[in-house]
Amino acid sequence: MTNRKVAVVTGASSGIGRASARALAAKGYEVVCAARRLDRIEELAREIDGRAVQCDVTNREDVERLAAEAGPCVDVLVANAGGAFGTDPVASADLDDWRRMYKINVLGTLSTIQTTLPALEAAHGVIITIGSTAGLVSYEGGGGYCGVKHAVRAMMGSLRLELFDKPVRVCEIDPGMVKSDEFALVRFDGDEEKAAAVYAGVEAPLTQEDIADAVTYIAELPEHVNIDQMVVRPRAQAAQHKVFRTS
């Protein structure tokens, strides 16, 4: 048993999720690190004295097991698991890419929130979703990704209204361009040249540690302080409109 507060972080095997898990652990949380790649989250859990739970957020049984293993009180949920696939225009978009993005980003976030909500209420906890400025503005070749991030933002808006009388804070972090471990490589199927082109001309993109700082800031706010959204933009403002454009 532990007296530490409990934080659940999905997508903890790399990028923003991994950085957030480390940052929360540094603040004294027992972090439940959830992701599909068990070897990576087991390594992380050993490093930060947390717990590793293999979980594919598109699999309801996995998500229910994650909630059960997290325990009856969860102080922080960082619903970070997500992904962007494909850069085709709407007219020629791959439907499988869009379905995959919707299942992970939207249904995965929904499922994670649903299963952990009782424990969050018990702890007077906070839900933090990692969105994107793609949920605020659109760009060429980003119809699918922008669509799912708009959907997550709408879902969080509804949840915020529905939980108005519950002891749960509902928050979003919507970064601009973030240079993380694998995000661009996943978007371009491992093509390092295309991935590097994402950041061409951007003087100082955000880092995964920047977003982790925002996560811990929200997590540590006193309960009576009401912050429902934090839009984190890169220093080069134009960059948010250039995300994943290679032309």
Q: Give the number of other CB atoms < 10 A from CB of residue 105.
A: 29
* Alpha carbon distances (Å) from 30 to 2, 11, 12, 230, 246: 8, 16, 14, 24, 40
In the residue annotation, 139 being an active-site residue is answered as: no
Of 20, 21, 83, the residue nearest 52 (C-alpha): 21
What amino acid is encoded at 87 in this protein?
Answer: T
Of the residues 29, 102, 139, 145, only one is catalytic, namely 145
Lookup result for tokens 């302080």:
225
Handedness of CA 209, 211, 212, 216 (dihedral sign): positive
CA-to-CA separations, 234 to 45, 138, 148, 186, 246, in angstroms, rounded: 30, 16, 21, 21, 18
Q: Which helix (H) or strand (E) holds 117?
A: helix 108-123
Task: Read off the tokens for 208.
Answer: 């995964």
What is the distance between the alpha carbons of residues 91 and 101, in angstroms, rounded to a whole number? 17
211 Cβ contact partners less than 8 Å away, ≥ 6 residues apart: 16, 19, 20, 130, 173, 175, 178, 232
- Segment holding 184, helix H or strand E: helix 183-187
Query: In sequence order, which residues have a C-beta less than 8 Å from that of residue 29 and are 6 or more positions away?
Result: 4, 5, 6, 7, 75, 76, 219
Catalytically annotated residues: 145
